[in-house]
């Protein structure tokens, strides 16, 4: 039997962890390999890049989509279990679970825009150019990485989170050096950063920074309080970071005040970490080439 596609793995994976217990990746990999009758030889098959095994890669994507839909969650690294929403799905005894099925859950909208119809992957590919397919695949990989990064950041200690934010700001060009930027770190027990940082290496202006590991929605009152605190630091510009989200009222508030305040939520924080190589590394590089028509120009200059 050949290795099944990742969508075919979704329902069996959810059923395998339906007992409510914590399960490791290795445990589920072995269970599903046995269920699908995947041979030892097939388990060794790798993607064209040679960097990842096909079976493990497909299981990983099945788990990613189930997590996005809120059917399973990961309480710690490499461990996951079914959620109440996942149990509710199993109780309805679905014949299959695929991406089209998962689109019914609101959390999926945060990661993927809904399409007008539920075309299968084959028709999706044939209707797009190779460049579009490549770009789409790259963005999907990036979004999955951002999800993993944010999940890991939320599990970090307060001290590690403070260091991460400082390193990111310096990588973005703020604060001068790490030594200078490190002075913004708040008092022990703050579980975040609250202070000023140089806007540039010369320190011609300052930014007021607040970074907290909020996992809920930050509303207007918190942002308004932040804006008021800037006066005590003689700062007209500020950056407020959270691992959660900002309410619409909070976002509207910063648009209508004299101070310049940038709100960075958890999703944007993860994307910035990718952009500035904080906590990530390059797995592989694909070079896309095009024809150099000038090379074939035989006219003499």
User: Which domains occur in the chain, in start order?
Assistant: 10-112 (1.10.10), 128-301 (3.40.1340.10)
The predicted structure's pLDDT at residue 126: 38
The predicted structure's pLDDT at residue 122: 40
| pLDDT tens-place values along the chain, 301 residues long | 689 999 999 999 999 999 999 999 999 999 999 999 999 999 999 887 777 888 998 998 899 899 999 999 988 777 899 999 999 999 999 999 999 999 999 888 655 543 444 444 443 433 467 777 888 888 889 999 999 999 999 988 888 888 898 889 889 988 777 777 766 666 555 556 777 888 877 777 888 889 888 888 999 999 999 999 888 878 889 999 999 999 999 999 999 999 999 999 999 999 999 999 999 998 888 888 888 878 887 665 5
The predicted structure's pLDDT at residue 287: 84
The predicted structure's pLDDT at residue 199: 82
Give all strands of the β-sheet with 192-198 in edge-to-edge order: 192-198, 206-212, 237-242, 260-264
- What would you report as the CA-atom Rg of the chain, rounded to the nearest whole angstrom? 24
| Structure letter (DSSP) for residue 265 | -
The predicted structure's pLDDT at residue 160: 86
Q: What are 13's two structure tokens? A: 């994976």
Q: What are 178's two structure tokens? A: 């790490």
Report how far residue 131's alpha carbon sits from residue 150's, in angstroms, rounded to the nearest whole number: 29
The predicted structure's pLDDT at residue 71: 96
Q: What are 170's two structure tokens? A: 């310096």
The predicted structure's pLDDT at residue 134: 81
Report how far residue 196's alpha carbon sits from residue 207's, in angstroms, rounded to the nearest whole number: 5
Report how far residue 58's alpha carbon sits from residue 122's, in angstroms, rounded to the nearest whole number: 17
The predicted structure's pLDDT at residue 110: 57
């Amino acid at each position: 039997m050949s290795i099944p596609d990742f969508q075919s793995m979704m329902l069996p994976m959810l059923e395998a962890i339906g007992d409510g217990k914590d399960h490791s990746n290795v445990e589920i990999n072995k269970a599903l390999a046995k269920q699908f009758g995947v041979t030892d030889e097939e388990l060794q098959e790798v993607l064209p890049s040679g960097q990842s095994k096909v079976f493990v890669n497909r299981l990983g994507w099945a788990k990613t989509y189930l997590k996005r839909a809120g059917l399973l969650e990961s309480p710690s690294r490499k461990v996951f279990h079914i959620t109440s929403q996942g149990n509710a799905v199993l109780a309805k005894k679905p014949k299959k679970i695929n991406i089209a099925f998962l689109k019914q859950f609101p959390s999926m909208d945060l990661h993927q825009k809904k399409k007008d119809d539920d075309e299968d992957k084959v028709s999706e590919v044939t209707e797009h150019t190779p460049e579009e397919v490549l770009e789409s695949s790259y963005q999907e990989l990036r979004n999955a990485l951002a999800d993993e990064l944010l999940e890991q950041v939320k599990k970090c200690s307060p001290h590690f989170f403070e260091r991460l934010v400082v390193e990111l700001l310096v990588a973005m060009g703020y604060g001068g050096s790490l030594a200078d930027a490190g002075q913004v770190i708040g008092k022990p027990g703050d579980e975040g950063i609250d202070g000023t940082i140089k806007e540039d290496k010369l320190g011609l202006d300052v930014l007021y920074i607040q970074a907290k590991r909020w996992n809920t929605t930050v509303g207007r009152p918190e942002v308004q309080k932040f804006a008021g605190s800037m006066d005590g630091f003689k700062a007209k510009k500020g950056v407020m970071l959270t691992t959660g989200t900002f309410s619409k009222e909070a976002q509207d508030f910063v648009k209508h005040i004299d101070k310049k305040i940038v709100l960075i939520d958890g999703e944007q924080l993860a994307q910035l970490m990718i952009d500035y190589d904080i906590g990530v590394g390059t797995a592989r590089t694909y070079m896309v080439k095009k024809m150099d028509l000038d090379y074939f120009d035989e006219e003499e200059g």
